[in-house]
Amino acid sequence: MSKSKLEYIWLDGSKPTQKLRGKTKIVTDFSGKLEDCEVWSFDGSSTGQAEGNSSDCLLKPVFICPDPQRKNGYLVMCEVLNADSTPHETNGRATIDDEDDDFWFGFEQEYFLIDNETGKPLGFPANGYPRPQGPYYCSVGASNAYGRAIVEEHLDACLEAGLNVEGINGEVAAGQWEYQIFAKGAAAAGDEIWVARYLLERIGEQYGVSVDLHPKPLGELDWNGSGMHANFSNSTLRNAGNRETYEQICEAFRPVVKEHIDVYGADNHMRLTGKHETASIHDFSYGISDRGASIRIPIATVERGWKGWLEDRRPASNGDPYKIASRIIKTVKKAE
């Protein structure tokens, strides 16, 4: 008889940005399969998702992978349901319209590592600021790269868990990093981003370092913010073969700017200023290889004969990948 530790992970009701929660279920002779993960309950009144006089919410397992930091452990990403098994209002995953997994997503998750003692990003002195940004992007060396041990441990943990991380790199600001995750299927991409975020937060606990997903943690200072660029395609984009199709889909985003910004992350107006490789939140634009546009048409897409993907550069680092993907899918389907 063997015992397994199943860490049930879900998104709470925090506003304006939901936070991760998790609790452990011990099961006997577990198969390791998703279908053998039972629906579980939790106290929604303690997570901002229910009232105290009717507090039960349900956790429906939707994704499972090995837990690389625990013996006989698994990470179980869950949707939150109401007591009657309908999707909870905080459940963004349930809004995704991609049953056949025709949409593929690659998210570029940027983040800052924050020293809990100073409250500043790693690499920032307790008083004052480091050298201006420039030497930190894709850097190496103790005077340029801060927090590499955490980043490397996180990468190994993600790979051991079976997450499809496609790369990591140091970002433009000191203490800022990025990892990229790709999946065929919008919900699957969201699942993996959330599990990767969970692992990063848990690793940070060991170092006294917090993960800051705010899109502009350094405020108005001349430092880059953090985004979560959404690279996406469906069979139409992957097989288009002409510029007109791409322009038609891009133009479909123009009249629904507000609807997209509403789900692209809180405080994103601080980041989308038209500076630091962003388009203004008040405008909409697209262009080939243009990192200052709302949507970038990658040069690789053009070189492949207009068969490829698009990159929406507006989503913030604290955005919910489920809601972001859901909104993008809705707009692309309307264009088609």
For the chain, the domains span: 3-91, 104-335
Q: Tell me the percentage of the chain whose pLDDT exceeds 70.
A: 100
CB-facing half-sphere around the CA of 129: CA atoms within 13 A: 9
The domain made up of 3-91 is a member of CATH 3.10.20.70 = yes
**pLDDT of 164 higher than 90:** yes
pLDDT value at position 188? 98
pLDDT class of 267 with cuts at 50, 70, 90 = very high
pLDDT value at position 98? 94
What integer is the mean pLDDT of 252-277? Answer: 94
CA angle (291 as vertex; 290, 294 as ends), nearest 5: 90
Domains 3-91 and 104-335 in one fold: no
The distance in angstroms from the start CA to the end CA of the chain is 54
| Domain 104-335, CATH among 3.40.50.2000, 1.10.3720.10, 3.40.1690.10, 3.30.590.10 | 3.30.590.10
pLDDT class of 49 with cuts at 50, 70, 90 = very high
**pLDDT of 135 higher than 90:** yes
**SS3 category, 292:** coil
Question: In the chain, at which residue ranges do the beta strands (DSSP E only) sit?
Answer: 3-11, 20-28, 40-43, 56-66, 73-81, 104-115, 165-170, 176-184, 209-212, 228-233, 286-288, 295-297, 310-312
pLDDT value at position 259? 97
**pLDDT of 221 higher than 80:** no
pLDDT value at position 127? 87
Q: Rounded mean pLDDT of the chain? A: 96
pLDDT class of 8 with cuts at 50, 70, 90 = very high
Amino acid letter at 3?
K
What integer is the mean pLDDT of 198-207? Answer: 98
To 10 degrees, what angle do helices 243-253 and 321-335 make? 120
Highest mean pLDDT among 129-133, 289-293, 330-334: 330-334
Return all residues near 275 (Cβ < 8 A) that are at least 6 apart: none
Residue in 24, 25, 27, 29 with CA at minimum distance from that of residue 2: 29
**pLDDT of 281 higher than 80:** yes
pLDDT value at position 275? 85
pLDDT value at position 145? 97
Q: Tell me the percentage of the chain whose pLDDT exceeds 90.
A: 92
What integer is the mean pLDDT of 121-135? Answer: 92
What CA–CA distance (Å, rounded) separates 245 from 265? 28
131-160 burial, b for 16+ CB within 10 Å, e for fewer? eebebbeebeeeebbbbbebbebbbebbee
pLDDT class of 52 with cuts at 50, 70, 90 = confident
pLDDT value at position 53? 85
pLDDT value at position 106? 98
What integer is the mean pLDDT of 263-269? Answer: 97
CA angle (263 as vertex; 308, 229 as ends), nearest 5: 35
Tell me 87's DSSP state. B
What integer is the mean pLDDT of 139-150? Answer: 97
